[in-house]
Amino acid sequence: MSANTAMAEKYRNNFLKEIEEQVEMGDWVKMCMQCGVCSGSCPTNFQSAWEHPPQELFMMIRAGKREEVLTTTSMWNCTSCYNCIVRCPRKLPITHIMHGIAEYAHRLGVAPKMQPTRFFSGLFWKNATKTGRVNELKLSMGLYFKNGFGAGVKEGMKMKDVALGLIKAKRLNPFEILGGHTCKDQKGIQAMLKKAYEIERSRKAAKTAG
């Protein structure tokens, strides 16, 4: 049994408990009184329309809808505007919970692979941690070519005026494509991140055991 399936066994039919233990700030979920102010205050809810607004996600967690919650794209739509946190009558840290659920779904490997926010987050992380510096050219190109070569070229052409403007203003260096600039102590950065991973892993293991 892998670590993940063992964990799934532990929490069988007790998704709320799983969220409370595994998700950052997850122990707040039970405090929701379903008033709906978060959903009504969410700027993305009235435009691109979440499949499940935060209030509904909380209810689904309590109802044990594990599959639906972890695989939905909803919490990935959060733009961190913090409107919900400001207005929540029970002071739930809703924005943080949304990020927590998203991170947990990602950790389990069940998050929707091509959801743009999730895709971009992964791309950004790899890009930034590799050299200790963000290579903006590679980052934006990576996002353009997310849906294949043809779509990437099309998207690139659409944005070419912006790119030229940025180059003229010296905000974008086309030679970054050849590797780009790095930080002085790349090894130090890698060691630091490795240590951080270790700390996080041991903390989560302690929580699960406890």
Partner 1 sequence: MTEHVATNETILVVGGGISGMTAALEAAETGKNVVLVEKNPALGGRTSQLYRYFPKLCHPTCGLEINQRRLKNNPRIRVLTLAEVTGIEGGTGNYTVSVRVKPRYVNENCTACGECAKAVSTEVADPFNYNLGTHKAAYLPSSMAYPQRYVLDPAIIGTPEADAAKAACKYGAIELDMQEETLQVKAGAVIWATGWQPYDAAKIQPYGYGRFKNVITSVEFERLADPHGPTGGKLLRPSDGKEAKNVAFIQCAGSRDENHLRHCSRICCMASLKQTHYVREKYPEDGKSTIYYIDIRAIDRFEDFYQKVQADPSVSFIKSKVARISEDEQGNPVCWGVNTEGYKRYTTPHDLVVLAVGMEPSVKGVNIPGHIVADSSGFIEADPANGAVFGAGCASNALDVNRAVQSATAAALRAIQVVNKVAKAEA
Q: Which residues bind partner 1 (CB under 8 A)?
A: 33-41, 45-46, 49, 52-53, 55-56, 86-91
Residue among 91 and 158 whose Cβ is closer to partner 1: 91
189 neighbors 140 (Cβ within 8 angstroms): no
Residue among 41 and 115 whose Cβ is closer to partner 1: 41
Q: Name every residue whose Cβ is closer than 8 Å to that of residue 35 and which is 6 or more positions away in sequence.
A: 55, 89
Give me the least distance between CB of 184 and partner 1, in Å please.
47
Give me the least distance between CB of 47 and partner 1, in Å please.
11
Residue among 89 and 148 whose Cβ is closer to partner 1: 89
What Å distances lie between residue 132 and 119, 183, 203, CA to CA? 20, 5, 25
Give me the least distance between CB of 83 and partner 1, in Å please.
9
* Polymer length in residues for the chain: 210
Residue among 91 and 194 whose Cβ is closer to partner 1: 91
Give me the least distance between CB of 56 and partner 1, in Å please.
5
Q: What is the DSSP string of 45-56?
A: TTTT--SS-HHH
**Beta strands per DSSP E along 122-173:** none
